[in-house]
Each structure stands twice: as structure tokens, then as C-alpha cells.
Amino acid sequence: MSLFPTITVSAGERALEYVDGTCRRVLEPGRHRLARRAVVRRVLVLERVDTTAPQEVPTADGVSVRVTVAVRWAVADAQRFVETTVEPMAFVYLAVQVALRDALVDLTADDVARRARRTLGEAITEAARVAAEPVGIVVHGTVVKDVILPHELRAAYAELVSAKARGQAQLEVARAETAALRSLANGAKLLDEHPALARLRLVQALPPG
């Protein structure tokens, strides 16, 4: 029987070998022989996606919108991830929330609703990466997932869309009526200029016999 225990580290994880409270080495996937008094802590390093809680953020026009951000991240340094802080991702979430407030302070609610997903991602991702590196995390990207406007503003937008649709429908009806009137006017002018054609149309309109 061996005096030295062994451990198998799976793909997608790292194992920290501690001896007398000190990290002796970081074990890669495979089978390893441990020190006699070793304590092992496993760390999952697969990429994952977490979504922040809805963050209520004031816009430039004084409207409070609720925004959530999805963060794609993974553990880059297992030892720093374990030893630096109790909740490593809390640092990343805080950086995302602060960057979100800074990004929205100059935007109106309409700008946020229309362009948040396209314009905010880069700034938020950079802030998250800066906060993540010291705690052993790599951030692969962020996405503005949900933008929730106040109920009154959503109702106003819905009414605006409905009004635009009704106006477009009325415009199409008016165009059709104008085209019909123009056709009738052209026909009347043609009949005035050609009496024989007018008589022919009259004959055609009479019932048989």
C-alpha cells in the first residue's frame, strides 16, 4: 500500500494541493501523487454565463430603467480565484454595475431602449475584465440582456406604435382613393375629347335588347 495518496483531476477543473496551509502546486487534468499531509481543493475552470440582478439605473432624462447584463467568464488562475477573496465574482458584478451607470448617465430612455445592446457592451466588458484579472477570472464578454422601461413609458411606446400603424393604413386608403379619382378624371377627359368613344361606352352600358 502506497504511503502517498493519488488524485485524478478531470478535464475542466484544476486542483490546488495544500500542505500545512500553503498551496504547494496547481494540478492540471490527469492523475497525480499527493504529499502525505496534502489537502486538495478542486476548482471548476469551464466557461460559464452569469446574469446580474436587475439594476435600476437613471437615464439623462430622469427615467429609471432596469437593466440586466450577462457575463461570460471562466477561472484563469485557480490559486488567485481561491485565495484572493471570498466572492471573486462580486468584484466583477460591482464593476459591471458601475460601468452601466456611467454609460447610461448621458443617454435618454429612448436611446437606452433602442441602442443599449449595440453601444454599451464594449465599455462594460472592459470594466469587467479590469476587475476580474486580480481575482483570477477572465471575462470573455458581456451582453446587455434586458432593458425594462417603466410601465407608463412602455404603454406610451405601444400607443405610439399603434398610432403610426393607423396613420400608415389611413395613408394607404387615401392613396388608393386618389388613384381611383385620377383614373376617373382621365377617363372623363378621354370621353370629352372623343364623342364617338362616349357613344360606344353608352351602347355597351345599355341592357341587351
Report the C-alpha gap between 188 and 35 in whole angstroms: 106
CATH of domain 48-149: 3.30.479.30
Model pTM greater than 0.75? Answer: no
* Domain spans in the chain, listed from the N-terminal domain onward: 6-44, 48-149, 155-205
Which pairs from 31-39 meet CB under 8 Å and 24+ separation?
Answer: 31/6, 31/7, 32/6, 32/7, 32/8, 33/2, 33/4, 33/5, 33/6, 34/4, 34/5, 34/6, 34/7, 35/4, 36/3, 36/4, 36/5, 38/5
Report the C-alpha gap between 45 and 56 in whole angstroms: 31
Residue 78: the pLDDT is 96
Cell numbers placing 112 = 437606452
Tell me which residue of 50, 13, 24, 58 sits closest to 150, measured CA to CA: 58
Residue 171: the pLDDT is 72
pLDDT digit of tens for each residue in the chain (209 aa)? 456 789 999 999 999 999 999 999 999 999 999 988 899 999 999 999 999 888 887 777 777 788 889 999 999 999 999 999 999 999 999 999 898 888 887 777 777 777 766 777 788 899 999 999 999 999 999 988 887 776 565 555 555 555 565 666 677 767 777 777 777 677 677 667 767 666 666 666 666 65
Residue 149: the pLDDT is 74
Please give the distance of CA 195 from its chain centroid, rounded to a whole number.
Answer: 69
Tell me which residue of 52, 87, 100, 57 sits closest to 72, measured CA to CA: 52
Residue 1: the pLDDT is 45
Sequence-separated (6 or more) residues with CB below 8 Å from residue 200: none
Locus of grid cell 490559486: 79
Tell me which residue of 49, 47, 86, 85 sits closest to 70, measured CA to CA: 49
Helix and strand element counts for the chain (H, E):
6, 9
Alpha helices in the chain (DSSP H): 78-83, 88-104, 109-119, 121-132, 151-193, 195-205
Phi-psi sector, 144: left (phi>0), alpha (psi -120 to 50), beta: beta
Residue 89's CB is within 10 A of a number of other CB atoms, namely: 20
